[in-house]
Amino acid sequence: MKRLLTSSVLLVAMGTASTALLPADVGLQAAHAQSRRDKEGRKVIGIDTINIQQQMSEAYRAAAREKRHEAMAFLEDILANRPPQGVQKAEMMLRLADLYFEEGRDLYLTEMAKFQEAYDKCFNTEGCNPESMEPDNSESRKWQDKSIKLYRIILQNYPQYQRADEATFYLGSALADTGRRDEAVKEFNNLVRTYPDSEYVPDAYVLIGEYYFDKNNAYKALIAYQKAARYKDSPKYAFAMYKLAWCYYNVGEYGKAIDTMKAVVAYSLANQEGDKSKLTLQEEALKDLVRFFADAGDLQEAIDYFNKLGKQDLIEAMLKRLANTYFENGEFEQAITTYRRLIAENPNSKKAPEYQNEIILAYQKMDRKKETMAEIDRLLKTYGKNSAWQRQNASDPDAIKAANDYIEKNLRTVAINYHAEAKKLGAGRAAREAYELAYQAYQVYLENFPEEKNAYEMRYAFGELLYKLKKYDEAYEQYMKVVEMDPKGQRSEFCAESAIFAAEEMVKQEEKAGRIQKPEGKATDPVPLSEWEQKLLAACDQYTKYFKDNKKARNVIYKSAYLLYNKNHFKEASDRFRIVIAMDPASKEAEQAANLILDSFNLVEDWANLKEVAKAFYDQESLGSRKFKEEVYKVYERASFKLIEVTYEKDKDAVKAADAFVAFVDEFPKSDVADLALNNAAAYYHQEGLLKKAMETRLRLIEGWPKSKYYADQVAALGYDYETIADFEEAARWYEELFALDKAHKAAKEAIYSAGLFRRALDQTDQAIKDFQAFITEYPDDPRVTPLLLDIAQIHEDAGRYSDAANIYYTFFTKPRDDASIDQIYFARLHYGLALEQMGQKSKADKHYKETLAAWEKDKDKPHELAPNFIAEIMYKQAQPIMDRYLALKMEGTTSTNRKKIDKALADQLVAKAKALQEVEAAYGAILKTGSGEWGLAAATALGEAYENMAWTLSCENSYVPTYLNEDQREIYCMGLEDKAYVQTEKAAAAYAVALEKAYELNLYNENTATATRRLGELRPDEYPELEEDVLEPRYVSRDVVTHGFEETP
């Protein structure tokens, strides 16, 4: 929106009404007005001529200020906390800058008002010097400076912003208004240079002209106004021409000054229709032309010019005297003609309404009713509210008041007189004409003078006339307004009742026309009231509002209540019925009304009102019989419950609903739905994480309502709550109770299963097995049965009940379930063997292991994941005796001293050791081929130990050295053994390296990892310097004892 920066004179040029000004836009008018008036005596008008503050009420300013503060806070919040980007941000900053400046202007007005008050006081105080006083504009300046800063930020950060011209213009305007006019004119010059096509260019040129004009630089001001005057479509065109004329005058070019000012007058005359501001400019221009003509010395031209414009005051006075003479002599037609000429000579004269009034009086003298009404209509339209005449004479309130008084008196007089004449005539054409003209006069009067002092009686009389003419709809409106204007007035009670009668007549007409909608069948939806049913209701309400103590009031209230009840507007009907009840609560009618109220609320499921009203009726001692009280209490109870439900559906506040349900049980412990209320409360508490309250509520239901259909559900939920707070023993107990209570319950299966898990975790193995077995028995087809069988076996195994464990494992792999996997079967095979070993059946276990390995050859191509680990563990067990035999072999030589025997013994022992090593390599190599992680690591480590053992065996320190060798031969012999031992050591290092690589790959750390790490540090110190390993606690003590649960196997 383009901001207005000028006074009403500039508004003349813009063609914009002053009411379009924003509150802060009035700051400019006061800023420089005094200085311009004092600056020189030519009295030339400027943009600050008229103080717009006078056109704006304090209430308007306050409302605008409130809206402005809201807008500033809103924009500051967005820009500070969630700033937009680009153009949108620039738009917001521009609007915020405007608001800052408007705030400054508003404060400026307040500051100047205070200053003016102080100035006036000082002026009237002896000894006080008002010339030394200065206004304090510090607060307003802060806001103006904030706006200037923001405008500059916009122009600096968004130079390509499409509204940069607007920001530049506003910046210049802000600088001008804060007294920084030198900076302002630079911004205006920048605007016209940078944005020559901007809509603000004409405004800028005008303000540049004003700057130089005020500095008495007529030449530069003239150039600026000439440029502004090029924009003939600009709202400031006329103002620019006006100031241009003054510039010509100031430089001595009187001819151009006169021609230019004439153009201003001509423009104003051509465009003044409906625009007071252009008339102001015209009047100022005419006044200035007097001076221009005088200084130019061309008086005859002035006389001709002004005569041409119709300045004929003496002619008007002569015509007025002549008209009065005609009237006094009874020559009414001639008087009318003369008055019309007077009006024509100067239609906008302040005396014109008086002349029109004389014409009306003349027609009244001639008893010409239609002409009288026509002339009153002309008086109203030509000189009444919003007329061109009133706009032209807006500066003279006395003239406008006189015109309005003429209109009011004439309309009132003819209305009353014609109405009285019509009643006197009774019937016939003359009576109908008088009624019709009275109707017109009343109507026009009340349209134009609705709040005049005579309006009360005029409305009453008009209502009576309308009712007589059977215009009930219009009569209703007048009767209602009579009461509204003065409820205590003499006619008000009569009119209040008459309005009801008129509305009832209109309802009858609607019924005949089929416009009354009625409820269909048992439908409870409110049926819309027809137009006149609504108005009948309003009339009833008006009557009871102002005349409630009248004996007719009860019937009026009942009438309105029954109307609403029949239209299914139960709440509103209830409010009225309750008033009827209050009038005589002990009556039978009161009890019937109460029942109707409760029934209506029940039908529409308005539980809040049903609860409230039922409780009120129950507590009202004098209302209803004992049976009525019992029924009402029951209604109150059920409504209380339903209200909790519907309130939750609306606000979804579960805690509030839960508290309400508990309170309900406290209030109605014997209610049929008490257990449901506790059930709901527990559910809502649990939903909101209030477990303690949920559990307390569940226990209350379980203990107090053992036969409730919600009993089992609460047992299940209580178990879950204990599980949630990690009290697994209690959770298991409640789950077991649920299973024992109702195996068919939807939560029973998971409950007994979870109970078994919790018991096992708590090391309550016997109960865990019972729970698992109960689960298996009750739900044999559940897919968890298969792993549960293994779990039960493991529980037995962990408890040292190896026989029980072995039986389950054996059955599992010999008669596998359909859903048993290869991994599960071989887990069972492994642990069956382990159980046999624990029972001391080593040979049976070995046989079983061999059978398992043979079975694996058939099953290894079937889908599996973990089975190779179980096979590898078995193979590792099978490899252990081979390793032990190998480690037991040594090169001990012989006790014989025979060389051949010695050589043969050593050769045999070496061959045996080498063959045993091959067996070890084959056994552990097979384990490596299974791909098992942990057991592959163990096998690689064992191979390293085997190779190291061979190296150790071959060393002279640990091997027999033939006794027949001399010292040199012994040295050569030992060197040969060392060469062979070196090969074995390298193999050992390679095996350890494989083991370590496998450990890193699997992120597996155990005793084997530690062994491989330690040995590599010794065997290959250069590759593994000072290699140390922080080994986690091993999973087992030695290679001889390694066991895993099925799900633990890596």
Nearest to 530 by CA among 538, 521, 522, 541: 538
- Regarding whether 478 and 336 lie in a shared domain, the answer is yes
> Do residues 593 and 555 touch, judged by C-beta distance below 8 A?
no
Asked if 875 and 930 touch (Cβ cutoff 8 Å), the reply is yes
Average pLDDT, the chain: 85
Find out whether 924 and 942 touch, Cβ atoms under 8 Å. Answer: yes
For residue 678, being part of any structural domain is answered with: no
Are residues 237 and 384 located together in one domain of the fold?
no
* Residue at 775 is within a domain: no
Q: What is the average pLDDT across 567-589?
A: 82
Question: Which one of 269, 288, 308 terminates a domain?
Answer: 308
- Rounded to an integer, the average pLDDT of 371-387 is 91
Under DSSP, is residue 957 helix (H, G, I), strand (E, B) or coil? coil
Percent of the chain at pLDDT above 90? 49
Whether the CB-CB separation of 872 and 927 falls below 8 Å is answered with: yes
Examine residue 802 and state whether it is found in any structural domain, yes or no: no
Do residues 303 and 317 both lie within one domain?
no
Q: Which of 463, 492, 512 is the last residue of a domain?
A: 512
- Residue 368 included in any domain: yes
Look up residue 440 and give its amino acid: Q
* Same domain? 401 vs 415: yes
**Which tokens is 351 given?**
């005396």
By the 8 A CB rule, do 979 and 997 touch? Answer: no
Q: Are residues 211 and 329 in the same domain?
A: no
Note the pLDDT of residue 297.
53
Chain mean position to CA 824? 57
Same-domain pairing of 158 and 289: yes
> What total number of domains does the chain contain?
3
Domain boundary among 283, 308, 333: 308
**CA-CA distance, 739 to 126, in Å (whole number)?**
105
Do the domain assignments include residue 629?
no
Considering the domain architecture, whether residues 296 and 409 belong to the same structural domain is answered as no
Judge whether 982 lies within some domain: yes
56 φ/ψ sector (left φ>0, alpha ψ -120 to 50, else beta)? beta
Domain that holds residue 966: 867-1048
> Average pLDDT for residues 550-561, to the nearest whole number?
88
d(CA 912, CA 432): 149
Residues 216, 139: one domain?
yes
Q: Please check whether residues 284 and 364 belong to one and the same domain.
A: no
Per-residue pLDDT at 90? 86
Residue 48: per-residue pLDDT? 52
- Same domain? 503 vs 390: yes
Supply the pLDDT for residue 450.
92
Longest dimension (CA), the chain: 187
* pLDDT mean over 541-552: 90
Half-sphere exposure for 265 (CA within 13 Å, toward CB): 18
Q: Return the C-alpha torsion angle 571, 572, 573, 577, nearest 10.
A: 100
The tens digit of pLDDT for each residue in 298-350 reads 555 655 665 677 645 434 444 565 577 578 878 899 889 878 988 887 899 89
Q: What is the DSSP code (8-state) at residue 489?
A: S
SS3 1038: strand
Q: Give per-residue pLDDT as tens, 129-187.
A: 888 888 998 899 999 899 999 999 888 998 888 998 998 999 999 898 888 999 999 99
Residue 264 sits in the same domain as residue 343: no
Q: How many C-alpha atoms does 114 have within 13 Å on its Cβ side?
A: 9
Q: How far apart, in Å, are the Cα atoms of 449 and each of 380, 385, 439?
A: 11, 10, 15
Contact 243, 217 (CB under 8 A): no
Confidence of residue 1021 (pLDDT cuts 50, 70, 90): confident
Residues 917 and 1030 in one domain: yes
Residue 671 maps to a domain: no
Question: How many Å apart are CA 201 and CA 192, to the nearest integer?
Answer: 6
Name the H helices within 195-331.
201-214, 218-229, 237-250, 254-271, 276-296, 299-308, 313-328
Identify whether 742 is part of a domain.
Answer: no
> What backbone phi and psi angles, to 5 degrees, belong to 1041?
-130, 95
Q: How far apart are CA 948 and CA 942, in angstroms?
A: 10
CATH number of the domain that residue 357 is part of: 1.25.40.10
Give 879's contacts (C-beta < 8 A, 6+ positions apart). Answer: 920, 923, 924, 927, 939, 942
Q: What is the DSSP letter of 1041?
A: B
